[in-house]
Protein backbone atom coordinates (compact mmCIF):
# COMPACT_ATOMS: atom_id res chain seq x y z
CA UNK A 1 0.00 0.00 0.00
CA UNK A 2 1.37 3.42 -0.92
CA UNK A 3 1.64 6.39 1.41
CA UNK A 4 -1.02 8.07 -0.72
CA UNK A 5 -3.38 5.18 0.06
CA UNK A 6 -2.45 4.97 3.74
CA UNK A 7 -3.00 8.70 4.22
CA UNK A 8 -6.70 8.15 3.62
CA UNK A 9 -6.99 5.45 6.29
CA UNK A 10 -8.75 6.63 9.44
CA UNK A 11 -9.23 4.84 12.72
CA UNK A 12 -12.98 4.84 13.52
CA UNK A 13 -12.21 4.68 17.24
CA UNK A 14 -10.66 8.16 16.99
CA UNK A 15 -14.01 9.75 16.14
CA UNK A 16 -14.72 10.10 19.85
CA UNK A 17 -11.24 11.47 20.61
CA UNK A 18 -9.99 15.01 19.93
CA UNK A 19 -7.01 15.71 17.70
CA UNK A 20 -3.81 16.24 19.65
CA UNK A 21 -1.11 18.92 19.56
CA UNK A 22 2.23 19.55 21.21
CA UNK A 23 3.44 23.15 21.48
CA UNK A 24 7.03 23.58 22.59
CA UNK A 25 7.67 26.71 24.62
CA UNK A 26 3.93 26.96 25.10
CA UNK A 27 3.85 28.59 28.51
CA UNK A 28 4.34 32.19 27.44
CA UNK A 29 4.65 34.59 24.52
CA UNK A 30 3.88 33.28 21.06
CA UNK A 31 3.53 29.75 22.39
CA UNK A 32 0.81 30.81 24.80
CA UNK A 33 -1.10 32.48 21.97
CA UNK A 34 -0.85 29.26 19.96
CA UNK A 35 -2.09 27.15 22.88
CA UNK A 36 -5.09 29.45 23.35
CA UNK A 37 -6.05 29.24 19.66
CA UNK A 38 -5.69 25.46 19.51
CA UNK A 39 -7.78 25.13 22.67
CA UNK A 40 -10.57 27.10 21.01
CA UNK A 41 -10.22 24.79 17.99
CA UNK A 42 -10.85 21.74 20.17
CA UNK A 43 -7.37 20.23 20.30
CA UNK A 44 -6.04 18.28 23.26
CA UNK A 45 -2.78 20.06 24.03
CA UNK A 46 0.55 19.31 25.61
CA UNK A 47 3.06 22.08 26.10
CA UNK A 48 6.69 22.21 27.10
CA UNK A 49 8.46 24.90 29.09
CA UNK A 50 12.06 25.49 30.09
CA UNK A 51 11.40 27.69 33.12
CA UNK A 52 8.40 29.37 34.66
CA UNK A 53 6.37 26.41 35.85
CA UNK A 54 3.69 28.68 37.30
CA UNK A 55 3.18 30.43 33.96
CA UNK A 56 3.01 27.07 32.20
CA UNK A 57 0.42 25.76 34.63
CA UNK A 58 -1.57 28.96 34.21
CA UNK A 59 -1.54 28.44 30.44
CA UNK A 60 -2.76 24.86 30.95
CA UNK A 61 -5.65 26.16 33.06
CA UNK A 62 -6.47 28.77 30.43
CA UNK A 63 -6.45 26.13 27.70
CA UNK A 64 -8.94 23.99 29.60
CA UNK A 65 -11.20 26.97 30.20
CA UNK A 66 -11.07 27.85 26.48
CA UNK A 67 -12.27 24.43 25.41
CA UNK A 68 -9.29 22.08 25.26
CA UNK A 69 -10.57 18.64 26.27
CA UNK A 70 -7.15 17.86 27.76
CA UNK A 71 -4.10 19.97 28.56
CA UNK A 72 -0.84 19.28 30.34
CA UNK A 73 2.70 20.62 30.61
CA UNK A 74 6.15 19.11 30.96
CA UNK A 75 9.47 20.76 31.77
CA UNK A 76 11.90 20.45 28.87
CA UNK A 77 14.97 22.44 27.90
CA UNK A 78 15.08 22.54 24.10
CA UNK A 79 18.87 22.75 24.28
CA UNK A 80 19.18 19.52 26.28
CA UNK A 81 18.80 16.38 24.17
CA UNK A 82 18.04 14.24 27.23
CA UNK A 83 14.60 15.85 27.29
CA UNK A 84 13.71 14.56 23.81
CA UNK A 85 12.83 11.13 25.17
CA UNK A 86 11.05 12.71 28.14
CA UNK A 87 8.76 14.71 25.88
CA UNK A 88 8.23 11.80 23.49
CA UNK A 89 7.27 9.55 26.41
CA UNK A 90 4.78 12.14 27.68
CA UNK A 91 3.17 12.45 24.26
CA UNK A 92 2.96 8.68 23.80
CA UNK A 93 1.63 7.96 27.29
CA UNK A 94 -0.87 10.83 27.49
CA UNK A 95 -2.08 10.95 23.87
CA UNK A 96 -0.93 7.73 22.23
CA UNK A 97 -0.51 9.71 19.00
CA UNK A 98 0.30 13.22 17.77
CA UNK A 99 -1.56 15.14 15.07
CA UNK A 100 0.20 18.51 15.26
CA UNK A 101 3.70 19.42 16.39
CA UNK A 102 4.40 23.14 16.81
CA UNK A 103 8.12 23.83 17.19
CA UNK A 104 7.95 27.17 18.94
CA UNK A 105 10.53 26.96 21.75
CA UNK A 106 13.63 29.06 21.33
CA UNK A 107 15.66 31.84 22.82
CA UNK A 108 17.35 35.10 21.97
CA UNK A 109 20.92 35.82 23.11
CA UNK A 110 21.10 36.72 26.78
CA UNK A 111 23.24 39.72 25.83
CA UNK A 112 23.05 41.48 22.47
CA UNK A 113 26.58 41.87 21.14
CA UNK A 114 28.06 43.24 17.95
CA UNK A 115 28.93 40.56 15.40
CA UNK A 116 32.61 41.24 16.14
CA UNK A 117 32.03 40.55 19.84
CA UNK A 118 29.76 37.47 19.72
CA UNK A 119 31.07 34.83 22.13
CA UNK A 120 31.32 31.07 21.58
CA UNK A 121 29.25 30.56 24.73
CA UNK A 122 26.36 32.65 23.45
CA UNK A 123 26.61 31.04 20.01
CA UNK A 124 26.47 27.51 21.42
CA UNK A 125 23.60 28.25 23.80
CA UNK A 126 21.41 29.77 21.09
CA UNK A 127 22.25 27.08 18.51
CA UNK A 128 21.55 24.25 20.94
CA UNK A 129 18.19 25.69 21.96
CA UNK A 130 17.01 26.94 18.57
CA UNK A 131 18.42 24.26 16.25
CA UNK A 132 19.80 21.09 17.80
CA UNK A 133 16.91 20.41 20.15
CA UNK A 134 14.30 21.32 17.53
CA UNK A 135 15.80 18.98 14.94
CA UNK A 136 16.05 15.91 17.15
CA UNK A 137 12.65 16.35 18.80
CA UNK A 138 11.06 16.70 15.36
CA UNK A 139 12.93 13.64 14.13
CA UNK A 140 11.69 11.56 17.05
CA UNK A 141 8.07 12.71 16.89
CA UNK A 142 7.90 12.50 13.10
CA UNK A 143 8.66 8.80 13.41
CA UNK A 144 5.71 8.43 15.76
CA UNK A 145 3.42 10.45 13.49
CA UNK A 146 4.32 8.33 10.45
CA UNK A 147 3.06 5.14 12.12
CA UNK A 148 -0.45 6.36 12.91
CA UNK A 149 -3.66 6.58 10.87
CA UNK A 150 -5.03 10.00 10.05
CA UNK A 151 -7.40 11.54 12.57
CA UNK A 152 -10.90 11.63 11.03
CA UNK A 153 -11.36 15.33 11.84
CA UNK A 154 -8.19 16.40 10.01
CA UNK A 155 -7.06 16.50 6.40
CA UNK A 156 -3.42 15.92 7.37
CA UNK A 157 -1.10 15.64 10.32
CA UNK A 158 1.22 18.65 10.45
CA UNK A 159 4.52 19.95 11.74
CA UNK A 160 4.79 23.72 12.14
CA UNK A 161 8.11 25.47 12.64
CA UNK A 162 7.88 28.94 14.19
CA UNK A 163 10.80 30.63 12.50
CA UNK A 164 11.40 34.34 12.20
CA UNK A 165 11.84 37.13 9.70
CA UNK A 166 15.38 37.10 11.11
CA UNK A 167 16.03 34.10 8.84
CA UNK A 168 16.73 36.59 6.05
CA UNK A 169 16.89 39.96 7.86
CA UNK A 170 20.25 40.25 9.61
CA UNK A 171 20.67 42.00 12.97
CA UNK A 172 24.30 42.79 13.68
CA UNK A 173 23.79 42.70 17.45
CA UNK A 174 22.32 39.18 17.62
CA UNK A 175 23.77 37.33 14.68
CA UNK A 176 23.61 33.96 16.44
CA UNK A 177 19.82 34.27 16.63
CA UNK A 178 19.56 35.15 12.93
CA UNK A 179 21.76 32.21 11.94
CA UNK A 180 19.67 29.86 14.07
CA UNK A 181 16.47 30.99 12.37
CA UNK A 182 18.04 30.55 8.94
CA UNK A 183 18.85 27.05 10.12
CA UNK A 184 15.23 26.47 11.11
CA UNK A 185 14.25 27.33 7.54
CA UNK A 186 16.55 24.60 6.25
CA UNK A 187 15.33 22.06 8.81
CA UNK A 188 11.74 22.79 7.81
CA UNK A 189 12.54 22.24 4.14
CA UNK A 190 14.35 18.99 4.92
CA UNK A 191 11.43 17.53 6.87
CA UNK A 192 8.95 18.77 4.28
CA UNK A 193 10.82 16.91 1.55
CA UNK A 194 11.38 13.76 3.61
CA UNK A 195 7.73 13.53 4.70
CA UNK A 196 6.13 14.65 1.44
CA UNK A 197 4.94 11.15 0.51
CA UNK A 198 3.44 10.61 3.97
CA UNK A 199 0.23 12.16 5.35
CA UNK A 200 2.30 14.80 7.20
CA UNK A 201 2.56 18.37 5.94
CA UNK A 202 5.21 20.87 7.03
CA UNK A 203 4.86 24.65 7.30
CA UNK A 204 7.35 27.31 8.37
CA UNK A 205 5.74 30.41 9.86
CA UNK A 206 7.91 33.53 10.04
CA UNK A 207 6.67 36.07 12.59
CA UNK A 208 7.99 39.60 12.42
CA UNK A 209 7.69 42.09 15.29
CA UNK A 210 5.55 40.30 17.88
CA UNK A 211 4.94 41.98 21.24
CA UNK A 212 6.06 39.48 23.89
CA UNK A 213 8.35 39.38 26.91
CA UNK A 214 11.22 38.53 24.51
CA UNK A 215 10.79 41.82 22.64
CA UNK A 216 9.94 43.96 25.66
CA UNK A 217 13.44 45.32 26.13
CA UNK A 218 13.40 46.78 22.59
CA UNK A 219 9.71 47.68 22.60
CA UNK A 220 10.20 51.46 22.71
CA UNK A 221 12.69 51.36 19.82
CA UNK A 222 10.47 49.31 17.53
CA UNK A 223 7.27 51.08 18.53
CA UNK A 224 8.83 54.27 17.20
CA UNK A 225 10.11 52.52 14.09
CA UNK A 226 6.63 51.17 13.41
CA UNK A 227 5.30 54.73 13.71
CA UNK A 228 8.00 55.79 11.25
CA UNK A 229 6.75 53.30 8.66
CA UNK A 230 8.92 50.21 9.18
CA UNK A 231 5.94 47.82 9.01
CA UNK A 232 3.40 48.28 6.17
CA UNK A 233 0.57 47.15 8.48
CA UNK A 234 1.43 49.75 11.13
CA UNK A 235 1.19 47.88 14.41
CA UNK A 236 2.91 45.25 16.52
CA UNK A 237 1.93 41.66 15.85
CA UNK A 238 0.50 39.68 18.75
CA UNK A 239 0.80 36.06 19.92
CA UNK A 240 -2.89 35.77 19.10
CA UNK A 241 -2.15 36.63 15.45
CA UNK A 242 0.25 33.71 15.21
CA UNK A 243 -2.04 31.39 17.16
CA UNK A 244 -5.00 32.02 14.88
CA UNK A 245 -2.95 31.12 11.80
CA UNK A 246 -1.63 27.92 13.39
CA UNK A 247 -5.13 26.83 14.43
CA UNK A 248 -6.63 27.65 11.05
CA UNK A 249 -3.94 25.70 9.20
CA UNK A 250 -4.27 22.79 11.62
CA UNK A 251 -7.94 22.43 10.73
CA UNK A 252 -7.66 23.43 7.05
CA UNK A 253 -4.18 22.79 5.63
CA UNK A 254 -3.15 24.28 2.31
CA UNK A 255 -4.01 21.69 -0.36
CA UNK A 256 -1.22 20.09 -2.39
CA UNK A 257 1.41 22.06 -0.48
CA UNK A 258 4.24 21.34 1.91
CA UNK A 259 7.37 23.24 2.89
CA UNK A 260 5.44 26.49 2.58
CA UNK A 261 6.97 29.61 4.16
CA UNK A 262 4.29 31.92 5.54
CA UNK A 263 5.35 35.42 6.66
CA UNK A 264 3.38 36.77 9.63
CA UNK A 265 5.04 40.16 9.76
CA UNK A 266 2.59 42.81 8.65
CA UNK A 267 4.33 43.01 5.27
CA UNK A 268 7.78 43.69 6.71
CA UNK A 269 9.29 41.15 4.29
CA UNK A 270 8.14 43.15 1.27
CA UNK A 271 10.93 44.98 -0.52
CA UNK A 272 10.36 48.63 -1.28
CA UNK A 273 12.12 51.25 -3.39
Q: What is the mean pLDDT of residues 132-143?
A: 97
pLDDT value for 5: 42
pLDDT of 131 over the 80 cut: yes
pLDDT value for 1: 38
Q: pLDDT tier at 269 (50, 70, 90 boundaries)?
A: very high
Can you give the residue ranges of every domain in the chain? Answer: 20-264
The model's pLDDT over 168-197, given as tens digits with 9 standing for 90+, comes to 999 999 999 999 999 999 999 999 999 999
pLDDT value for 246: 99
pLDDT of 3 over the 50 cut: no
Fold type of domain 20-264: Rossmann fold (3.40.50)
End-to-end CA distance of the chain: 53
Q: What is the mean pLDDT of residues 227-255?
A: 98
pLDDT of 4 over the 60 cut: no
The model's pLDDT over 61-97, given as tens digits with 9 standing for 90+, comes to 999 999 999 999 999 998 899 999 999 999 999 999 9
pLDDT of 218 over the 60 cut: yes
Q: Which residues contact 157 (CB under 8 A, 6 or more apart)?
A: 98, 99, 100, 145, 148, 150, 151, 199, 200, 201
pLDDT value for 2: 43
Q: Which residues contact 24 (CB under 8 A, 6 or more apart)?
A: 31, 47, 48, 76, 78, 87, 102, 103, 104, 105, 134, 137
The model's pLDDT over 30-68, given as tens digits with 9 standing for 90+, comes to 999 999 999 999 999 999 999 999 999 999 999 999 999
Active-site annotation, residues: 177
pLDDT value for 15: 75
**Exposed (0-12), middle (13-18) or buried (19+): which is 161, by Cβ within 10 Å?**
buried
Q: What percent of the chain has pLDDT over 90?
A: 90
Q: What is the mean pLDDT of the chain?
A: 94
Amino acid sequence: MSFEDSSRIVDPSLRSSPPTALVTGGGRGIGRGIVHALARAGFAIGLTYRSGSEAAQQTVSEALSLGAPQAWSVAADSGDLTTVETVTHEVASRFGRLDLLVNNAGMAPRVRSDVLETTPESWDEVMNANLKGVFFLTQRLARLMMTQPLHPELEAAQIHFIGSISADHVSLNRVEYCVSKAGIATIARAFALRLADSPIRVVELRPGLIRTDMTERVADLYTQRIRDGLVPIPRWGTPEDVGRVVAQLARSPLPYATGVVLPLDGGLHLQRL
